[in-house]
Amino acid sequence: MIVAEGKPLEEVYALIAEAKKVLVVGCGGCVTVCLAGGEKEVGLLAASLRMKRKLADRPLETVEVTLTRQCDPEYVEQLDRYVTEEIDAIVSLACGVGVQFLAERYPKWVVPALNTKFAGGTLAPGRWEERCGLCGECILHRTGGICPIIRCAKSILNGPCGGSQNGKCEVNKEIDCAWQLIYDRMRLLGRLDDLLTIEPAKDWSKAKDGGLRKVLREEAILA
Amino acid sequence: MSGPTTESKLEKLLREGKFVVTAEIGPPKHASAEGIRRHAALLKDWVDAVNITDNQTAIVRLSSLAAGVHCLQMGVEPILQMTVRDRNRIALQSDLLGAYSLGIRNVLCLSGDHQSFGNHPTARNVFDIDSIQLIAMVKKMRDEKQFLCGEEIKEHEPRFFIGAVANPFADPFEFRVLRLEKKINAGAQFIQTQCIFDLERFDRWMAMVRERGLHKRAAILAGVTPLKSVGAARYMQQAVSGMIVPDDLIARLKKAADAKAEGVEICVEQIKYLRTVEGVAGIHIMAVMWEEIVPTILEKAGLRSRT
Amino acid sequence: MTAFEPKIVAFCCYYCAYAAADLAGSMRLAYPPNIRLVEMPCSGKADARVILKAFEEGADGVYVAGCLEGDCHFLKGNLRAKKRVAALKKRLAEIGLEPERLEMFNLSGSMGPRFAEIAREMTERIRALGPSPLNRGRSPAGTAQEG
């Protein structure tokens, strides 16, 4: 899932300083799972903003809606009846994709309430960690199922670098060295020899470096 | 040592079987070459080549390419350190062409310290290719006369003597020698190691190197660093990544009446020992912020002046 | 000038604090009338939104009372409540309210006197803090509030 976390209240507060009435929109997808932007967070943020504004003697009116997903037009459309004339701003509690989908549909001041962090998973309730670098050409079968592109701070494809000590990354002792993990895993699988093959320079044109990426699935396209 | 010969004097000496000495110069955090020239003059008669670090510990410094040229002008052969942290394959190849055109003949390929250690921790890193891919790229330009993309270098291909680094003190220990082998397979011809303080661990590593015959395929230069004070030793032990500084070494510095003299003494002992280790083809002295001590250490270690 | 009488909402777990309140009543222990009890199936059921809502709707103080740690009927409900209250205190500060207006207490059903003590403690604390800044318009400082 896409993992996000809320921006500080002060920051969101400042983003809608001019607004009298805002639409606070949650997303029922990834950000609900990572407790950043679901229905509950919408309620907390809206109430917090209202109270903070009241303390400043500039009351704020909020309308709270949580969509199934903000990254799909068929759900975004459901917002139409809430986006009325008097809505001065839309606060989106989605990842960057949702914020943009709202901004693309409505000629309104749309602001992000979250910082989109990474593509990752849940380690334990309340703990999420990055797993995928979205490089566009998966090599996990060559690295024992551990991604060096995103889990190694230097994205080294022929690791580990000289900074790996006691299984930890030189950047932060809280981070496991991805290449130590790869080494351990390949040894477990009896495939250490695979690591002697020199991994060639990666084709980054398949990653974000190649410009905006699209995926087409012919049989799903009707129009 | 594999690979065709280049114009590198360092390579020539190693091929002749001479025990070589290299040292390190860290370029300054300003735009004057005066210090580089002074250090080059100081080291000129004592070392065979000088490494020029590339924004070491990710701190902005005068470029290694420019500093290398200053060394050349002083009559010292530079080893251009090149990290893949700050430049992509386009910039790296461009700088290789430029460095060669200016007379630089040795290049040392590294990953580079992560930018979070330096003075611009908010910088974006590059890491388009890794150090092993950089080695392979320098070799491809030289031996296949091709750019990384496969396009032909029609004339004047850069012909570098290719170096790499190895850290016997990083983990997983058992894989360090295999990774060294990968570097040699990629084209590395000389290897400079991380500073050695833990001789016992270095011995175990060298035994594995010899077992796989790697010392015959590449020249291994053992890295040493003189410790100036107890504080410096502690810093190395705790703050420098991929380093092992044994506690008894720190205790020895602490006990000494003159820590500086003791630091020199320890370094001299290390060099004398390392010279006896089979497969060690030379010494690489990294006297960080203490370059002026290098001649003293070499003299005491019995590595006579080059003149 | 009439003294300020705080309005305090107490979210009380049915298995402990709520029973303790009953016991305090049976024991004829006096505790301040400022406390409005809300019976909860577990302190862990106290929703962060509802706690904020209490402040928004005029509470000068709020507390959550759950079972002694280790004694939760639902095993970890009171521990969840503790963490939630800690997080909400930070949020209150961000909003501009004193975090001390919110607290978490632990007690058992047999601790009637302790229940009364907590009620007094919280009332005194909020009285010292004064009315919630959100209630300034509603009740000017120094004026008694309608119960």
Give the neighbor-by-neighbor strand order of the sheet with A2-6. Answer: A2-6, A114-124, A127-132
Residues A105 and A194 in one domain: no
Number of domains making up chain C: 1
- What does the pLDDT look like over A110-163, one tens digit per residue? 999 999 999 999 999 999 999 999 999 999 999 999 999 999 999 999 999 999
Q: Of B222, B133, B187, whose CA–CA distance to B6 is shortest?
A: B187
CATH number of the domain that residue C37 is part of: 3.40.50
Residues A172 and A109 in one domain: no
Percent of chain A with pLDDT over 70: 100
Residue A89 Cα distances to A51, A67, A79, A112, A126, angstroms: 17, 17, 13, 11, 30
How many other β-carbons are positioned within 10 Å of the β-carbon of residue A73? 10
| Chain C contact residues (CB < 8 Å to A) | 47-49, 52-53, 55-56, 91, 94-97, 133-134
Token pair 């699209």 is found at: A214
Q: Do residues B214 and B189 lie in contact, with contact meaning Cβ atoms separated by under 8 Å?
A: no
Contact C52 A48 (CB under 8 A): yes
DSSP A193: G
Report the residue of A143, A164, A180, A204 to disrupt the B interface, i.e. the one with the largest count of B CBs within 10 Å.
Answer: A164
Residues A87 and A149 in one domain: no
Using an 8 Å CB-CB cutoff, list chain B residues near A198.
132-133, 136, 182, 185-186
Q: Of B166, B103, B142, B105, whose CA–CA distance to B3 is shortest?
A: B142
Residues A18 and A81 in one domain: yes
Q: Which of A118, A144, A162 is the last residue of a domain?
A: A118
Does B contact C via 3+ CB–CB distances below 8 Å?
Answer: no
Chain Cα centroid distance, residue B218: 14
The top-level CATH class assigned to B9-300 is alpha beta
The shortest CB-CB distance from A183 to any of B133, B165, B172 is to B172
| Chain A contact residues (CB < 8 Å to B) | 153-167, 170-172, 177, 180, 183-184, 192, 195-196, 198-202, 204
Q: Is residue C147 part of a domain?
A: no
Residues 6+ apart with CB under 8 A from B232: B263
Spell out the domain ranges in chain B: 9-300
Contact C134 A48 (CB under 8 A): no
Strand ranges (E), A80-221? 89-93, 109-112, 114-124, 127-132
Q: What is the mean pLDDT of residues B113-135?
A: 96
Segment 81-110 of chain B within 8 Å of chain A by CB? 85, 89
Q: Which chains touch B (3 or more CB pairs under 8 A)?
A: A
- Residue-wise DSSP of C94-126: HHTS-GGGEEEEE--TT-HHHHHHHHHHHHHHH
Q: Is residue A151 part of a domain?
A: yes
Domain of C95, in residue numbers = 8-128
Contact A44 C52 (CB under 8 A): yes
Q: Is residue C140 part of a domain?
A: no
Q: Do residues B240 and A162 lie in contact, with contact meaning Cβ atoms separated by under 8 Å?
A: no
Does A contact B via 3+ CB–CB distances below 8 Å?
Answer: yes
ipTM of this complex prediction, to 2 decimal places: 0.93
Contact B133 A200 (CB under 8 A): yes
Q: Write down the pLDDT at residue B35.
A: 96
Q: What is the mean pLDDT of residues B72-89?
A: 98
- What does the pLDDT look like over C44-87, one tens digit per residue? 999 999 999 999 999 999 999 999 999 999 999 999 999 999 99
Q: Write down the pLDDT at residue C137.
A: 64
Q: Is residue C137 part of a domain?
A: no
Residues A33 and A90 in one domain: yes
The answer to whether residue B151 scores a pLDDT higher than 60 is yes
Q: Is residue A127 part of a domain?
A: no
Q: Which chains touch C (3 or more CB pairs under 8 A)?
A: A
Q: What is the mean pLDDT of residues B127-155?
A: 98
3-state secondary structure at position A45 = helix
Smallest Cα distance from A7 to chain C, Å: 12
Domain of A41, in residue numbers = 2-118
- What does the pLDDT look like over A161-200, one tens digit per residue? 999 999 999 999 999 999 999 999 999 999 999 999 999 9
- What does the pLDDT look like over A43-63, one tens digit per residue? 999 999 999 999 999 999 999
Q: Do residues A18 and C19 lie in contact, with contact meaning Cβ atoms separated by under 8 Å?
A: no
Q: Is residue A123 part of a domain?
A: no
The shortest CB-CB distance from C49 to any of A8, A9, A43 is to A43
- Residue-wise DSSP of chain B: --S---S-HHHHHHHTT--EEEEEEPPPSSS--HHHHHHHHHHTTT-SEEEE-SSGGG---S-HHHHHHHHHHTT--EEEEEESSS--HHHHHHHHHHHHHTT--EEEEE----GGGSS-TTPPP--SS-HHHHHHHHHHHHHS-B-TTS-B--S----PEEEEEE-TTSSSHHHHHHHHHHHHHHT--EEEEEEP--HHHHHHHHHHHHHTTHHHHSEEEEEE----SHHHHHHHHHHSTT----HHHHHHHHH-SSHHHHHHHHHHHHHHHHHHSTTEEEEEE--TT-GGGHHHHHHHTT-----
Q: Write down the pLDDT at residue C146.
A: 43
Residues A82 and A144 in one domain: no
Token pair 């059921």 is found at: C45
- What does the pLDDT look like over A22-41, one tens digit per residue? 999 999 999 999 999 999 99
Confidence of residue B289 (pLDDT cuts 50, 70, 90): confident
Q: Bridge partners of B51?
A: B24, B79
Contact A157 B169 (CB under 8 A): no
- What does the pLDDT look like over B208-225, one tens digit per residue? 999 999 999 999 999 999
Q: Of A35, A37, A62, whose CA–CA distance to A48 is shortest?
A: A62
The answer to whether residue C147 scores a pLDDT higher than 70 is no
Q: Is residue A195 part of a domain?
A: yes
Smallest Cα distance from A141 to chain C, Å: 40
Tokens standing for residue B211: 């077992």
Using an 8 Å CB-CB cutoff, list chain A residues near B241.
162-163, 165, 170
Token pair 């020239």 is found at: B37
Residues A67 and A6 in one domain: yes
Smallest Cα distance from A59 to chain B, Å: 38
CATH number of the domain that residue A7 is part of: 3.40.50.2300
Q: Write down the pLDDT at residue C141.
A: 44
Residues A103 and A140 in one domain: no
Residues A92 and A17 in one domain: yes
- What does the pLDDT look like over B107-118, one tens digit per residue? 999 999 999 999
Q: Do residues A162 and B194 lie in contact, with contact meaning Cβ atoms separated by under 8 Å?
A: yes
Burial of B47 per CB tally in 10 Å (0-12, 13-18, 19+): buried
Number of domains making up chain A: 2
Q: Is residue A125 part of a domain?
A: no
The shortest CB-CB distance from A48 to any of C47, C91, C133 is to C91
Q: Write down the pLDDT at residue B194.
A: 96
Q: Write down the pLDDT at residue C142.
A: 41
